[in-house]
Homo-oligomer: A and B are copies of this chain.
Amino acid sequence: MIDARNIGLRNIEVADTKICSIDGENGKLIYRGYDILDLVNHSTFEETAYLLIFGELPNSEQLFDFTERMTEARSLPSPILRNLANRPKRAEPMDVIQSAISELPDYDLNMREDTKSANIRRAITLIGKIPSIVAAWDRVRHSQDVIEPLDKGSHAENFLYLLRGEHPTKEETKVFDVSLILHAEHSFNASTFAAREIASTRAHMYASIAGAVGALSGELHGGANVQVMKMLLEIAEPERAKDWIRNKLSQGGRIMGMGHAVYRTTDPRAEVLRTLSHIISKERNTKWFEITEQVEKTTQDFMAKNKGQSIYANVDLYSASLYYSLNIPLDLNTPIFSIARASGWTAHVIEEKFAEAAPKPALYRPKASYVGKYCGPMGCEYIPITSRLNEDLSSSESGKQT
């Protein structure tokens, strides 16, 4: 049986990294040496993505060039658009993104080249095109025409425009841009680790990022803020929040959006998102911020009083109401996460493939502890099928026979 400390690799350092550091005790999140709060206050998603991928903040010329390359990358090859249109309208957005990403290498005419600069080019392609995939799918499934990407404007503005067919307000663009910065990177979370793990076999960038999209789709990872919004919709009114939460907690339930595996104090991203959600909620005159605040406070009070524990909001708690107030369909919350995280994922794949210092990453090939059937070192006796009865086997699992 494995050492309990190895479960989920929560206590195992698997690699060296220069991309991100998290100080869970003090609630600090640092991208490439820079505090997330400085980046939120002074930078843009484009600048942050440059920082993550190249390792340094850009000067004006570098940022201009990088932004231009991302803008050029926005359009989708027409066969990919045709293949979106061929899918049933019920298809889940995360499945559509994963599938479309696996089509991108078809149009990368230099796939044999696995250099750092080729991977940076692929990173820019992915960051540029994922928003177009998300928006195109949302329009296709609503029987709307797909919109051509803007040939200028920020990443945030472009996505909201592609989704809605009209330009967002400056405030919406700003709020969305900040949210992209906050979701851009978070060290070796499950999706980033999946991307690195796939890249460790020397699989290409697109295959690695498609795997990361798969991991992000899980409800324990990128799906969490959807669960938060479902809870808010179920609570429905601010005055119902206290009872709902107390009831849920008394029954031993967990409150989505509260608590984090790494942070032992406030998640710095939650603080920023709380402010943004408050601004948007006031402007739109919606109740979601107020309900969310009640959820947070009631959970904190309950846990302090009944368990003697401190618990804090995580990044999902306030992003749920924020996106909802921006009229973004609920099932696009996780896709939006992928739009932001594409920058962190691709930076990690580049680091996995081209780390300069020893110890260099190697193919991930962990051990497992075998706890199954054992009949000695030569294996169990193989009984021919005609002599097998296996009457103790539950036949229900094997399907149709009753």
Interface residues of A (CB under 8 A from B): 1-4, 6-21, 23, 26, 28, 30, 32-35, 38-39, 42-43, 47, 50, 54-63, 65-66, 69, 79, 82-83, 86-88, 90-92, 94-96, 98-100, 102-103, 105-107, 111, 116-117, 120, 187-191, 193-194, 197-204, 206-208, 210-211, 213-223, 261-262, 357, 359, 361-375, 377-380, 382-386, 388-390, 393, 395-401
Contacts and interface: CB of A to CB of B under 8 A. Distances in A.
A388 B210 contact: no
Contacts of A13: 2-3, 6, 366-369
The 7 closest A-B pairs by CB, nearest first: A201-B218, A18-B372, A33-B373, A211-B211, A35-B379, A207-B214, A8-B362
B371 A28 contact: no
A198 B218 contact: yes
29 contacts: A3-B13, A7-B361, A8-B361, A8-B363, A9-B367, A10-B365, A14-B367, A16-B370, A32-B372, A33-B372, A33-B379, A33-B380, A34-B379, A38-B382, A55-B372, A56-B393, A65-B398, A65-B401, A83-B87, A116-B397, A190-B201, A193-B365, A193-B366, A201-B223, A203-B218, A207-B218, A210-B214, A211-B211, A261-B363
Contacts of A367: 9-14, 188
Nearest to A64: B401
A28 B379 contact: yes
B194 A382 contact: no
A383 to B, nearest CB: 7
Nearest to A124: B399
A390 B62 contact: yes
A59 to B, nearest CB: 5
A15 B279 CA distance: 45
Contacts of A216: 201, 203
Contacts of A11: 367
A17 B373 CA distance: 10
B197 A207 contact: no
A42 to B, nearest CB: 5
Contacts of A102: 95-96, 98-99, 102, 210, 214
A365 B8 contact: yes
Given A28-B378, A90-B106, 14 more contacts: A2-B14, A4-B359, A8-B362, A13-B366, A17-B370, A33-B379, A54-B398, A88-B107, A187-B368, A190-B200, A201-B216, A207-B218, A220-B363, A357-B371
Contact of A18 (B103, B222, B370): B370
A10 B99 contact: no
Given A90-B106, A365-B193, A366-B14, A373 B214 contact: no
B95 A57 contact: no
A21 B370 contact: yes
